[in-house]
């Protein structure tokens, strides 16, 4: 009996010792998590300079000759490859999504490239911190201008001598959202971490003296489970971004700002079946309005008359499909945008381009750019006459047929039905064309991941995957 008691006592002491060894680290880990959360909550707003990486970290992209993979080019044009700077950061063949140049921008003689992947799913989910690469057009030289604490750079915006980036998916806490800006005056990139609680910033624009942003915050509504309260928000600042007023909405994400006829409109993502169920469960669907109009007093007015059918003419079942409107590109008094439209019954998802000259309640003027079936609208770039539209179409051969069309504002402003624009430049590549910048004499195009397709697996690298991230230059002969 005594032996059994002593043995059990020894086992108890051993168990207590083991438990202590386990509990102490767990307690320390819990305390560390609490300290991190407290630090995030107490994090002050601020503006910080972003320093470029060292010379050893600068990109050294190899330049595969364009004639090796660019075919069927319009005879009056010639193509050259500027290389693939993204391979240094995302070197594996299957990392096609984070290598994709989501947007291009020309500023102070530099061509800037937006990379990354902000998705929470997939092999390359949350691919930050993301490098900001710039190509010096005069010297034919790539550099990394900065490293952004974001998962993705999806949109550049230019205003005068400044280039801005909306913080699509900030790394770190949700206490503050990010904007980034570069001024020609000092050539420095700065992180403006001043937006209250913006998890995502999808677009920014200036209206009068106001800087306006759209995106997503964690506390859009006050009811329901805490993890389900995130949703759309609009922010405005009259001091260039120092102090913000935030307007919360019932939707999931606010995605685009549409400046039309000296007025400004904010658009939310249109809900498909899954999002409609989510909004309905949170008692948000009944009050959901896709479009808000800016008023002179700084408030926002819902525009229930601007329905999905008005915003997406020519699309079947527009009010039932998920739609993400993006790349809002003004030209004069008109605006163009691209809508990424979810599937419906037998119809596959598609990317379509739309133009608008007015959103008046009595007679809104919105038109779809007529493209052949299977051709995806990929990017828009403003010109003095209107826009350049980049599209990409998957061919039976596996190649992508890419086209650039010139669209003019004049016919749209007259209220005329826009004819289907003829391609101005066309070419074939093994990877889809995603982004466009330039003018009628010199164009830059970024190749990336095929739209609406899953990431390749590490065990299989399809043809053209390694070209994701490549930037091409086209010149008139």
pLDDT tens digit sequence for 173-187: 889 999 999 999 999
The pTM assigned to this predicted structure is 0.90
The answer to the question of residue 8 being in a domain is no
Please count the structural domains in the chain.
Answer: 1
The alpha-helical segments, DSSP class H, found in 375-467 are: 410-413
The answer to the question of residue 11 being in a domain is no
**Confidence category of residue 20, pLDDT binned at 50, 70, 90:** low
**Is pLDDT of 16 > 70?**
no
**Is pLDDT of 286 > 70?**
yes
The answer to the question of residue 20 being in a domain is no
**Is pLDDT of 435 > 70?**
yes
Instruction: Give the distance from CA 421 to its chain's centroid.
Output: 26
The answer to the question of residue 42 being in a domain is no
Q: What are the E-state strand segments in 198-333?
A: 200-207, 210-217, 231-237, 245-248, 254-260, 263-268, 291-294, 300-302, 323-331
The answer to the question of residue 21 being in a domain is no
| Range in 136-150, 156-170, 213-227, 394-408 the model is least confident about | 213-227
The answer to the question of residue 16 being in a domain is no
Distance (Å, whole) CA 264 – CA 411: 22
Distance (Å, whole) CA 444 – CA 448: 13
Domain harbouring 467, CATH code: 2.130.10.10
> Judging by DSSP bridges, how do beta strands 300-302 and 291-294 pair with one another?
antiparallel
Distance (Å, whole) CA 416 – CA 309: 19
The answer to the question of residue 260 being in a domain is yes
Distance (Å, whole) CA 47 – CA 469: 30
**Confidence category of residue 162, pLDDT binned at 50, 70, 90:** very high
**Is pLDDT of 11 > 70?**
no
Distance (Å, whole) CA 472 – CA 470: 7
Q: Which domain holds residue 254?
A: 66-476
Q: What are the E-state strand segments in 14-140?
A: 46-50, 77-81, 103-107, 110-114, 130-136
The answer to the question of residue 36 being in a domain is no
Q: Quick one: what percent of the chain has pLDDT higher than 90?
A: 77
């Amino acid at each position: 009996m005594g032996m059994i008691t002593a043995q059990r006592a020894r086992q108890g002491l051993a168990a207590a010792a083991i438990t202590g060894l386990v509990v102490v680290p767990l307690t320390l880990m819990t305390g560390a998590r609490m300290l991190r959360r407290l630090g995030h909550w107490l994090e002050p707003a601020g503006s910080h300079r972003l320093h470029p990486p060292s010379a050893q970290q600068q990109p050294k992209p190899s330049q595969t000759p364009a004639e090796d993979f660019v075919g069927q080019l319009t005879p009056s044009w010639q193509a050259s490859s500027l290389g693939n700077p993204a391979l240094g950061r995302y070197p594996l063949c299957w990392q096609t999504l984070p290598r994709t140049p989501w947007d291009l921008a020309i500023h102070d003689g530099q061509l800037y490239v937006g990379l990354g992947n902000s998705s929470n799913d997939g092999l390359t989910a949350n691919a930050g911190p993301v490098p900001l690469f710039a190509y010096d057009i005069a010297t034919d030289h790539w550099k990394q201008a900065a490293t952004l604490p974001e998962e993705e750079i999806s949109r550049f915006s230019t205003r005068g001598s400044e280039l801005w980036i909306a913080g699509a998916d900030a790394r770190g806490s949700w206490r503050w959202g990010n904007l980034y800006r570069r001024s020609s005056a000092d050539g420095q990139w700065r992180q403006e971490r001043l937006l209250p609680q913006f998890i995502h910033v999808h677009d920014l624009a200036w209206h009068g003296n106001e800087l306006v942003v759209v995106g997503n915050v964690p506390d859009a509504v006050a009811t329901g489970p805490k993890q389900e309260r995130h949703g759309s928000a609009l922010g405005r600042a009259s001091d260039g971004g120092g102090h913000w007023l935030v307007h919360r909405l019932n939707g999931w994400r606010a995605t685009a700002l549409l400046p039309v006829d000296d007025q400004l409109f904010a658009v939310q993502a249109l809900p498909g079946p899954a999002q409609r169920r989510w909004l309905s469960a949170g008692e948000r669907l009944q009050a959901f309005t896709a479009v808000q109009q800016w008023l002179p007093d700084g408030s926002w007015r819902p525009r229930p008359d601007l329905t999905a059918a008005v915003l997406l003419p020519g699309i079947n079942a527009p009010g039932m499909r998920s739609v993400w409107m993006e790349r809002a590109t003004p030209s004069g008094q008109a605006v163009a945008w691209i809508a990424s439209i979810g599937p419906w019954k037998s119809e596959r998802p598609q990317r379509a381009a739309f133009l608008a000259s007015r959103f008046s309640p009595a007679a809104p003027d919105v038109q779809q750019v007529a493209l052949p079936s299977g051709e995806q609208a990929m990017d828009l770039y403003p010109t003095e006459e209107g826009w350049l539209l980049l599209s990409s179409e998957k061919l039976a051969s596996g190649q992508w047929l890419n086209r650039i069309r010139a669209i003019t504002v004049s016919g749209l402003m007259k209220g005329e039905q826009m004819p289907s624009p003829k391609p101005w430049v066309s070419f074939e590549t093994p990877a889809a064309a995603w982004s466009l910048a330039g003018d009628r004499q010199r164009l830059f195009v970024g190749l990336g991941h095929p739209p609406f397709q899953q990431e390749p697996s590490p065990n299989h690298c399809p043809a053209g995957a390694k070209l994701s991230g490549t930037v091409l230059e086209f010149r008139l002969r």
